[in-house]
Amino acid sequence: MRHGLPLLAFVLAVAAGMVHAQTDPLEEAMTVFRDGRVIVEYSDPGRAQLKSAIAAFKDALGVPANLDELDEDAVDAFPIGLEWKPRVTRLSQCYFTLATVFQKGKASEEDTYRKGKHWGLKSLRMDPAFARLEDEDGFVSAVEHETDVESLYWACMNWVGVANFDRLAAIPAGIVRKTVAMLERCAELDPTYDCYGPYRILGSIWGALPRLPFGTYRKNLERARSYLCRVVDDPALCSDAALPPVDPVCTEYLGNRRVLAEFYLMERRMWREAERVLRSVLAEPIGETYPLYNARAQDDARALLEEVRDHL
């Protein structure tokens, strides 16, 4: 009887809520996702939840506190089993979301993208076939044979985020060539991923590049429009593009229209059209499918609208 008392006390304590089961860090990290999308609130508690998920992913992956995530070689060298590749990709996605939604314009934004880029590239290189092709034939060749759209996409999104801090330098460094190749491969594998994200980001890249007198990778607004008209149902701007009908889900994702306004209409100095499109973003409900990104898109639209009004 004496040996049974501690067990009985423990059972009674659990029933009374005095003892809590330890949460699996991986389960905790995955609570920020629904259908592959980050769904935390657009708020300070949402940011804290996303940061906790990042910490939980690193805990589950056994990442030591002293690993320098800003050092690509250090992240590449850290051993992780191939079975954990999807979780490494999710870590990259979380870093991108933290940077683009919660740290825009802050000092930590670039470093957060850089960490996400390194984990995204880590995910790609965890596949021995990708690593071998990269060593033998170069990065773009490995990308052209890659089939993991999620690893490609989130590595690329973070890399584009880093490149945006110095777009001119990104061209001779080969970053634009590599990221365009990654997005084109994503579009081949699954153009619908992240609400047609490959088209949206290709459009933004070609609209955001510097105006250079020569070279392949320079601003090309017609090419930008050809991609953005695949994700925005706007006959006034796209009726001559001879493209298939826009998937209705694209209308729910307000970032598609925000990108069209910022990287095509404003670059063309089509201020009235930009105002119309940005107002349409603000007129839409945030909805339940893309609540986090739609809330961020509306904040961006408000800021862009202030700039547009200066030109009306």
d(CA 200, CA 187): 10
Question: Where does 164-267 have alpha helices with state H?
Answer: 167-170, 175-189, 193-208, 221-228, 235-238, 249-252, 255-260
Domain boundary among 135, 162, 187: 187
Tens digits of residue pLDDT in 266-309: 999 999 999 999 999 999 999 999 999 999 999 999 999 999 99
Last residue of a domain, one of 153, 187, 221: 187
Contacts (Cβ under 8 Å, ≥6 apart) of 231: 195, 196, 199, 200, 203, 246, 250, 253, 256, 260
Q: Can you give the pTM of this predicted structure?
A: 0.91
With beta carbons less than 8 A apart as the criterion, state whether 202 and 194 touch. no
Query: What phi and psi, each to the nearest 5 degrees, are found at residue 239?
Result: -65, -25
Residue with more model confidence, 258 or 10: 258
Query: Cβ–Cβ contacts within 10 Å for residue 61, how many?
Result: 18
CB 260 within 8 A of CB 234: yes
Condensed to tens digits (0 to 9), the pLDDT of residues 176-226 reads 999 999 999 999 999 999 999 999 999 999 999 999 999 999 999 999 999
Q: Mean pLDDT, to the nearest integer, of 155-166?
A: 97
Judgement on whether residues 136 and 276 belong to the same structural domain of the protein? no
| Shared domain check, 108 and 41 | yes
> Does residue 195 sit in the same domain as residue 183?
no
Q: Does residue 231 have a pLDDT over 60?
A: yes
pLDDT digits (tens, 9 = 90+) for 12-30: 444 444 444 456 777 878 8
Domain residue limits at 268: 191-312
pLDDT single digits (tens) 97-119 = 999 999 999 999 999 999 999 99
- Do 138 and 27 have their domain in common? yes
Number of domains in the chain: 2
Q: Looking at residue 22, what is its pLDDT? A: 55
Do both 162 and 35 map to the same domain?
Answer: yes
Q: Is the pLDDT of residue 3 over 80?
A: no
- Shared domain for 132 and 220, answered yes or no, is no
**Per-residue confidence (pLDDT) for residue 23, from 0 to 100:** 61
pLDDT of 30 reads 87
Contact yes or no for 182/134 (Cβ under 8 A): no
Q: Which two tokens stand for residue 126?
A: 């965890």
pLDDT averaged over every residue in the chain? 92
Band of the pLDDT at 4, cuts 50, 70, 90? very low
pLDDT over 60 (residue 85): yes
- For 234-269, write each residue's pLDDT tens digit: 998 998 878 889 999 999 999 999 999 999 999 999
